Structure 1
């Protein structure tokens, strides 16, 4: 008889223990369950023992359906994959999964919510906290899964400011980068997603040195998250969050308007990029007002467009 796994050892161990209990209650062997969800029996063994690759979201859903678990395994799955990331990023991930509006300034790379799989793999591969290829695939699966909420009916409004450096750095090589830029152009056409570019010619600014995210939660409160190459910090103290939100508003007001930003992304994708002509303050104001007059235009606050606050669902 296989030794019992300690469910308190990790979320993967808890998932495995719950799966084993559900399987035995259903009177199924590992081989029988594997055939039902179209995987080999050793895959079921690995999951139950919390060894090897963690289950994908699709496999967790298939196991849940096969065992009539009423979403128990599906609900556990995000917590299992969150363990593959450093401690300092987990609290931020939990809050971002609940956010109704997300504002991001990306200094070095396309934000995870908008990354292609190949682009994400290239970035994750160079992470200093990465242990091996197995963990790489686990982190990649978790990142891709988080993108699903962006397209759901209750997904967040997303406003992204990309530093011009993000467009110029060919992460993964030329082909991967072209596909990533094309993805940005497609997603920016969605009514709840806005993309701007902060050109080099705008010079220095308050967020230099790292990326910044401002989250609006269902109760109307906000949290800020700053991140460098190997560390991150979640900020929830209202005064500090307000200061970061003001910094983010300034970045948006200094960035190119959305239409001009998409033109810059397009020229970068086509290999015809040139340094941006930064519009004057009066031109930016005029372009912003034109943007606001379009269907779904967002209100200005502190001189820059601000993501809308959604009322919590009853």
Structure 2
């Protein structure tokens, strides 16, 4: 039955960076005997396998960023301009992790000009329309905007097997927001990690109050005369950036990316997987394969 199809959409970079920093903070980097760094890939595999065990998907896809230049950097040159270059030990693991994902029989999906979030949003909507149930595995709260009746967003928290799982009810209960209002909030407050400002002087507390009262940015702009003079002045001074920030925050769910559901069935070839783990000297993981 189609209702039993469960798709796990993995935010590849979110897991890889998380795995790198979780395992390198002590200064020790896991390497093969030839000197190839593998700590991030090893951690990534453990994260993915744990999520598969927890959410029991029938299908798995891994989505990736494909370079730093996207339609967002064309809209706003400083977008993510505050990001540091990745550590030298992580760089060779970008290609390596995709080899390992491929060894699981899991498709690696990405498209130049868009971010992994856009691929995730597009595929999540597509699979939900096919009546599959979707879990998005990430550490990125921006993806909460793709939550829907059939799409849950799984935020990884500190510690192994520690997840916050959001559906529409959980998002409303915890944040007081609908998925759409996640975008509106970012339009008002900006995003320091993605390096766009929103409305200068408007913090999250004020933004949440405005959204609770007026619903969205269009509702706020339609009621400028009802706002305090201070808030109205800040918004009027940043109108262009308000609209741009909202657009930058919006995950595109109509990107030209596809991965037919029949191409992402979770059915790893255990011999192939074990061979890859042995090649990378992941002895413990190879033994788990049996």
Please indicate, yes or no, whether the TM-score normalized by the shorter chain is above 0.5: no
- RCO higher in structure (CA 8 A, sep ≥6): 2
Normalising by structure 2, report the TM-score.
0.29
Whose radius of gyration is greater, 1 or 2?
A: 1
Normalising by structure 1, report the TM-score.
0.27
